[in-house]
Amino acid sequence: MPSFHHGAVEIAYLDEGEGEPIILVHGFASSKNVNWVYPTWVSELKKHGRRVIALDNRGHGDSTKLYDQEDYHLGIMAGDVLALMDHLGLERPDMMGYSLGARLTGYLAQSQPQRLRSAIFGGLGIGMIEGGGPGENVAKALEAESLEDVADPMGRMFRAFADQTRSDRRALAACLRGSRRLATREEAACITVPSLIAVGTTDLIAGSAHALAAIIPNSEVLDIPGRDHMRAVGDRVYKAGVLDFLSRRP
């Protein structure tokens, strides 16, 4: 698996297929494989003529693990994505993020709009602005001795997921505490690249996709019927909607 260094941090990534490039940015406690390879996103996008690039965020997958929450600010993590784009000579790819990856995509869409052709926010609605998602309860769950010691429902969900993916739980706790930055309403309103907001209709973590679309100009909503935050990732409605959205880019 290829990798490159952004400063002292080694970032692992995959780069497959030919055609217009799209960068995939995974969610918290996930990885490029868990979020994009195993649910067949990479193969589907390649089948539809896309060059697919997906990275392991710092603290995740095969990338460097760090234990200071100051190393996980959104701007720093978004900088890893920009550094990968520069490493591969990508001037203006499409970008799709899920959950935390959608926060990073939103950060770049607002701060570096000239570098994105379009943005797809998976698993993140008005929670981009008004909260939602894992908090200190999840960080403490990740640091607990065992899953049996965790009573909080969301903490148990993320702890079980981290155990399933054999993640570095101490690095994840630092990432969670360092990356807890919400966008302001004004920042979200500054996102002008064509955007798709794709959220499961039973997702209690992302917040309303329609409420976020009312703030972001030039955006549209993709409802993923009957799916929660975890189960929406590989849904066929999600995939079909994303492929349709991408097909309409000039």
Whether 178 maps to a domain, the answer reads no
Residues of the chain where predicted confidence (pLDDT) is lower than 70:
132
Q: With contact defined as beta carbons under 8 Å apart, do 205 and 99 qualify?
A: yes
DSSP lists the bridge partners of residue 243 as none
Q: 203 near 227, Cβ under 8 Å?
A: yes
Q: Helices then strands (H, E): number in the chain?
A: 11, 8
Percent share of the chain, pLDDT over 90: 94
Number of domains making up the chain: 1
> Residue 20 belongs to what domain range?
3-131+184-247
Contact criterion met (CB below 8 Å) for 182 and 130: yes
Q: Could you tell me if residue 214 is inside a domain? A: yes
pLDDT in tens, 230-241: 999 999 999 999
Residue 132 has a pLDDT of: 65
Question: Which CA distances in Å does 80 have to 25, 55, 85, 224?
Answer: 11, 9, 9, 29
Predicted confidence at residue 250, as pLDDT, reads 81
Q: Is residue 173 part of a domain?
A: no
149 assigned to some structural domain: no
Q: Residue 12 is part of a domain; what is its CATH number? A: 3.40.50.1820
Alpha-carbon gap, residue 201 to 53, rounded angstroms: 28
- At residue 1, the pLDDT reads 86
Element at 103 (helix H, strand E): helix 100-111
Question: For residue 135, what pLDDT is reported?
Answer: 87
Q: Does residue 37 lie within any of the structural domains?
A: yes
What per-residue confidence (pLDDT) applies to 152? Answer: 92
**208 within a domain of the structure (yes/no):** yes
206/188 Cα distance (integer angstroms): 15
Q: Is 106 a member of any domain?
A: yes
Q: Is residue 159 part of a domain?
A: no
pLDDT tens-digit series, residues 123-165: 999 999 997 678 899 999 999 999 999 999 999 999 999 999 8
